[in-house]
Amino acid sequence: MQAFTQHSGIAAPLLRINVDTDAIIPSREMKTVGKRGLAEGLFAGWRYVAQGSREPNPEFVLNQPAYAGASILLSGANFGCGSSREHAVWALVEYGIRCVIAPSFGAIFHNNCIRNGLLPIVLDDAAVKSLATATPLHIDLATRSITTADGRVLPFNIEPAHHLMLLEGLDGIGLTQKSQALIDAHLVRDRAARPWVYRR
């Protein structure tokens, strides 16, 4: 997984609440079994003038010249709610988004971000809105801070486990396998306590 240490980039404001993963990548845009080839479908319902068309809708924020090359997304509460599709994160990352800043996130989406090197930052609504006019932003994950173009510094919180995983680009499976002996011991105890769970 790609680590996240520092990043500077243009922040695009998509300031609406409840942006769901169907909106981030519609099901009809998930055409292949794999994880790639999804960037084109990112926000397809809003980004193009009509369904099936690839003509950019000039009103959509990512199509506006000021936000060309944006790599940070600002949004409203409950960003990434809805379907568990990790394709939403893969599409954002493939498009070039490295960080999403919002007052809250859908839980599954948030987890998917952490596992793909996409930094989800939680800030209150007013703070998120204040960033819209202060781009580009510089984000430093080690110090957990955002520095705006006008020199403000905004601290943010992140779960220690998520902080570590992103900073070091850790692979969860590899980490967990270090606890294999503990898992095996738990399974032995559990099989005795709840034999009906085990089918062999």
State which residue, 15 or 149, has the beta carbon closest to another protein: 15
Question: Of 4-12, 66-74, 139-147, 160-168, which segment contacts another protein by CB under 8 A?
Answer: 160-168
Residue 146 interacts with another protein (CB under 8 A): yes or no: no
DSSP 55-97: -B-TTSGGGSGGGTT--EEEE-TTBTBS---THHHHHHHHHT-
Question: Of 54-62, 93-101, 138-146, 165-173, which segment contacts another protein by CB under 8 A?
Answer: 165-173
What is the Cα–Cα distance from 138 to 20, expressed in whole angstroms? 26
Which residue among 8, 18, 130, 147 contacts another protein (CB under 8 A)? 18
Which residue among 9, 14, 42, 86 contacts another protein (CB under 8 A)? 86
Number of residues that bind another protein (CB under 8 A): 62
Min dist CB 50 to another protein, Å, is 9
Question: Which amino acid makes up residue 36?
Answer: R
What is the Cα–Cα distance from 136 to 130, expressed in whole angstroms? 12
- Please check whether residue 49 is in contact with residue 70, taking contact to mean a CB–CB distance below 8 angstroms: no
Q: Which two tokens stand for residue 123?
A: 């800030």
Which residue among 7, 10, 35, 132 contacts another protein (CB under 8 A)? 35
Residue 179 interacts with another protein (CB under 8 A): yes or no: yes
Which residue among 82, 94, 156, 167 contacts another protein (CB under 8 A)? 82
Question: Per residue in 96-114, is it b (16+ CB within 10 Å) or e — as a string?
Answer: ebbbbbbbbbbebbbbbbb
- Cα–Cα separations (whole angstroms), residue 153 to 4, 13, 102, 139: 19, 19, 17, 10
- Cα–Cα separations (whole angstroms), residue 27 to 54, 66, 84, 115, 141: 16, 29, 12, 21, 32
Residue 11 interacts with another protein (CB under 8 A): yes or no: no
Residue 173 interacts with another protein (CB under 8 A): yes or no: yes
Which residue among 2, 54, 159, 191 contacts another protein (CB under 8 A)? 159
Residue 3 interacts with another protein (CB under 8 A): yes or no: no
Min dist CB 29 to another protein, Å, is 8
Which residue among 7, 45, 57, 130 contacts another protein (CB under 8 A)? 45
